[in-house]
């Protein structure tokens, strides 16, 4: 299980491959990897967005993500999880978040992945400030928590 | 006793500081800490709060050395 918040650019394909390489002792134990990769759009609410500033609460954010991962492991049969999230200045097409869930079967992999991204967006202490032609504005739209199918 | 109070994102801009120290004479609830820290600002309805980096409600009790944080709804991911 790996959780990290970073101000460095994220390459999702390298991060997923690097993490999977660390799981070599468990090779053959998983039958699938479900991923969610969040990427910055260049528009929001009718405006062109030039950049995004991502702020977090150091310590609390990492603790919260760790707890989400533990809950996912208790709730579904999964082999491992990876959660990486950017902070600082980012630009359109940059990766914001990477979630990977390795599991023996696709159903727990997909569901745990959806749980992690929905709960992260709903409650993990990150805040976005957009830069557009009219200046800077904080994003205020929070999204609902995970709900089981 | 001294506690640390932190503010994040738009709330930090509204309050005008990211952190302050408060000296308390008795334990207070989170809501009372808000009133002491921001006497001219009513507790916003949307406000989220954390005590020692864990989410809590407004009636949680704050003690010596604690770290309190107030912030707006989150928007990560």
Please tell me if residue A142 touches chain B, with a CB cutoff of 8 Å. yes
Closest CA to A83 of A120, A57, A55: A120
Whether residue A134 is predicted with pLDDT greater than 90 in this model: the reply is no
Q: Report strand pairing: B67-71 vs B2-7.
A: parallel
**What tens digit of pLDDT does each residue of A107-122 get?**
999 999 999 999 999 9
Of residues B19, B25, B21, the one with CA closest to residue B7: B19
Question: Rounded to whole angstroms, how far apart are CA atoms A96 and A121?
Answer: 12
Task: Find the mean pLDDT for residues A71-82.
Answer: 98
Question: Which range of residues forms the domain containing residue A8?
Answer: 2-22+30-138
pLDDT for position B69: 98
Cβ–Cβ < 8 Å for A38, A114: no
> Does A83 reach chain B within 8 Å, measured CB to CB?
no
Split into its structural domains, chain A has a count of 1
Query: Per-domain residue ranges for chain B?
Result: 2-69
Kindly report the CATH number assigned to the domain that includes residue A96: 3.90.1170.40
Q: Please answer yes or no on whether A138 and B6 come within 8 Å at the CB atom.
A: no
Whether the pLDDT of residue A87 is over 90: the answer is yes
Q: Cβ separation of B8 and A55 shorter than 8 Å?
A: yes
Asked, for residue A102, whether it belongs to a domain, the answer is: yes
> What distance in Å separates the CA atoms of residue A24 and residue A4, rounded to the nearest whole number?
21
On whether residue A48 sits in a domain, the answer given is yes
CA atoms within 13 A on the CB side of A70: 6
- Per residue in B21-54, pLDDT (tens digit) is 999 999 999 999 999 999 999 999 999 999 999 9
Q: What pLDDT does residue B1 have?
A: 87
**Whether domain B2-69 has CATH 3.40.50.2300:** no
Q: What is the pLDDT of residues B49-76, one digit of tens each?
A: 999 999 999 999 999 999 999 999 999 9
- CB atoms B77 and A126 under 8 Å: yes
The pLDDT tens digits of the residues spanning A18-28 come to 999 999 999 99
Q: Residue A124: which of B8, B54, B74 has the nearest Cβ?
A: B74
Structure tokens at A80: 């491992």
- Min mean pLDDT across A1-5, A44-48, B9-13 is at A44-48
Is A145 domain-assigned? no
Spell out which residues of chain B touch residue A127, defining contact as CB-CB under 8 Å: 8-10, 71-72, 74-76
Backbone CA torsion sign across A64, A70, A75, A81: positive
């Amino acid at each position: 299980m790996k959780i990290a918040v970073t101000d460095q650019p994220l390459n999702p394909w390298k991060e997923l491959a690097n993490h999977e390489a660390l799981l070599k002792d468990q090779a053959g134990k998983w039958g699938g990897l479900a991923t969610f990769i969040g990427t910055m759009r260049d528009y929001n609410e009718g405006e062109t967005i030039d950049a995004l500033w991502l702020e977090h609460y150091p310590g609390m954010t990492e603790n919260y993500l760790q707890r989400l991962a533990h809950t996912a492991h208790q709730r579904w049969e999964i082999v491992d999880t990876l959660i990486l999230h950017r902070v600082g200045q980012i630009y359109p097409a940059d990766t914001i978040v990477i979630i990977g869930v390795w599991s023996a079967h696709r159903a727990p992999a997909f569901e745990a992945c959806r749980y992690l991204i929905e709960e992260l967006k709903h409650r993990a202490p990150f805040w976005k400030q957009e830069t557009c032609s009219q200046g800077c504005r904080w994003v205020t739209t929070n999204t609902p928590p995970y709900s089981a199918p | 006793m001294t506690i640390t109070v932190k503010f994040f994102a738009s709330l930090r801009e509204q309050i005008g500081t990211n952190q302050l120290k408060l000296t308390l004479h008795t334990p207070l609830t989170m809501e009372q800490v808000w009133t002491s820290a921001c006497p001219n600002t009513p507790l916003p309805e949307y406000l989220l709060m954390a005590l020692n980096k864990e989410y809590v409600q407004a009636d949680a009790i704050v003690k010596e050395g604690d770290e309190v944080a107030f912030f707006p709804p989150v928007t990560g991911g």
